[in-house]
Chain A
Amino acid sequence: EDKVVQSPLSLVVHEGDTVTLNCSYEVTNFRSLLWYKQEKKAPTFLFMLTSSGIEKKSGRLSSILDKKELFSILNITATQTGDSAIYLCAVEEYNFNKFYFGSGTKLNVKP
């Protein structure tokens, strides 16, 4: 069964729009949740979240975790064409440092 579920699977917006990407998880022994951005190459790290309710922010991107409801959101404000990518969510489990990935959200930002 899927341990990490992302939604939507794909999204098309126009420059300047704000988007919210969702990640829900069901992982025993939760340690952290990570967001990655993947363009036409390897995933690159965006955020790590460990505590509920504390927003992580980097420029136009922000993310927050809810450990009670087992989900996280990634917000992108004032989107640009350079934000077009697949956004991956992963959850780290304590045992043997294992990471479980969602299938990703493909974001397409049109000019």
Chain B
Amino acid sequence: DAGITQSPRHKVTETGTPVTLRCHQTENHRYMYWYRQDPGHGLRLIHYSYGVKDTDKGEVSDGYSVSRSKTEDFLLTLESATSSQTSVYFCAISERTGSTDTQYFGPGTRLTVL
């Protein structure tokens, strides 16, 4: 499972409240990613990180921010949650094998915004 954990695993919150999701990895991977998964959309990249304090936006970054102050932790923050952010959030790392990379996923966080 590439040593990836996510917390919390489930969360219900109200519109307008801030929410932070945590991704923790134990194997010193450089690249970390946050995706959301919604029916009919597959996995869509929110933000990713290529090192401590190095992050960049993905295709659906509006309303989300990230931080990576340590190699092992990648935090996703919804500053003011909206109902459209109800989704399942997956964290991933990429592991280099030769000249290519494979992504491995955390167990996911189911977020419901009421």
Contacts and interface: CB of A to CB of B under 8 A. Distances in A.
Interface of A: 4, 6, 31-32, 34, 41-45, 48, 50, 88, 90, 92, 96-104
Given A34-B102, A88-B42, A41 B107 contact: yes
Interface in B82-114: 90, 94, 97, 99-108
B102 A48 contact: yes
A48 B45 contact: no
A22 B62 CA distance: 31
B42 A97 contact: no
28 contacts: A4-B42, A31-B99, A31-B100, A34-B103, A42-B107, A43-B43, A43-B90, A45-B102, A45-B103, A48-B97, A48-B100, A90-B43, A92-B100, A96-B50, A96-B56, A97-B31, A97-B48, A97-B50, A97-B94, A98-B48, A99-B45, A99-B103, A100-B45, A101-B43, A102-B42, A103-B40, A103-B41, A103-B42
